[in-house]
Homo-oligomer: A and B are copies of this chain.
Amino acid sequence: MGISLGELAVRFGCELRGDPGRTVDHVATLAHADIRSLAFVANPRYREQLATTGAGAVVLDAACAAHCATAALVCENPHATYARIAAVLHPHPAAPAGAHPSAVIAPGARIDPSAHVGAHSVIGEGAIVGARAFVGPHCIIEEQALVGEDVRLTARVTVCRRVQIGARTTVQPGAVIGGDGFGFAQERGRWIKVPQTGTVRVGTDVEIGANTTIDRGAIEDTVIEEGVKLDNLIMIAHNVRVGAHSALAACVGVSGSTSIGRRCMIGGQVGIGGHLTISDDVIITGCTMVSHSIPRPGVYSGGIPLEEAHVWRRLVARFKRLDSLATRLKALERHNSRGPDQEEDDD
Using a CB–CB cutoff of 8 Å, the interface residues on chain A facing chain B are 26-29, 32, 42, 77, 79-80, 82-84, 86-87, 90, 93, 100, 102, 104, 118-120, 122, 137-138, 140, 142-143, 154-156, 158, 160-161, 170, 172-174, 176, 179-180, 182-187, 189-195, 197, 205, 207, 209-211, 213, 215, 219-220, 227, 229, 231-233, 235, 237, 245, 247, 249-251, 253, 255, 263, 268-269, 271, 273, 283-292, 294, 298-310, 312-326, 328-329, 331-333, 335-336, 338, 342-343, 345-346
B contact residues around A303 at 8 Å (CB): 271, 289, 291, 302
Q: Which residue from B120, B174, B255 sits with its C-beta under 8 Å from A122?
A: B120
Q: A83-B194, A184-B207, A231-B235 are in contact. List 17 more A-B contacts (CB 8 A).
A: A87-B193, A87-B195, A138-B138, A142-B155, A158-B173, A172-B180, A174-B176, A191-B247, A213-B233, A237-B250, A253-B268, A253-B269, A271-B303, A289-B303, A289-B305, A302-B305, A325-B326
User: Can you identify 10 A-B contacts, CB atoms within 8 angstroms?
Assistant: A28-B219, A79-B186, A80-B185, A118-B122, A154-B179, A158-B173, A173-B179, A174-B179, A233-B235, A291-B305
Given A174-B158, A215-B210, A232-B179, decide whether A122 and B137 contact each other with a Cβ distance below 8 A. yes
A300 engages B289 (CB within 8 Å): no
Question: Which A-B residue pairs are the 9 nearest by beta carbons?
Answer: A302-B306, A79-B185, A179-B210, A318-B322, A301-B312, A289-B303, A299-B309, A80-B185, A287-B289
Q: Which residue from B160, B255, B319 sits with its C-beta under 8 Å from A173?
A: B160
A140 engages B138 (CB within 8 Å): yes
A82 engages B185 (CB within 8 Å): yes
B316 engages A174 (CB within 8 Å): no
Given A173-B176, A189-B245, A328-B343, decide whether A182 and B209 contact each other with a Cβ distance below 8 A. yes
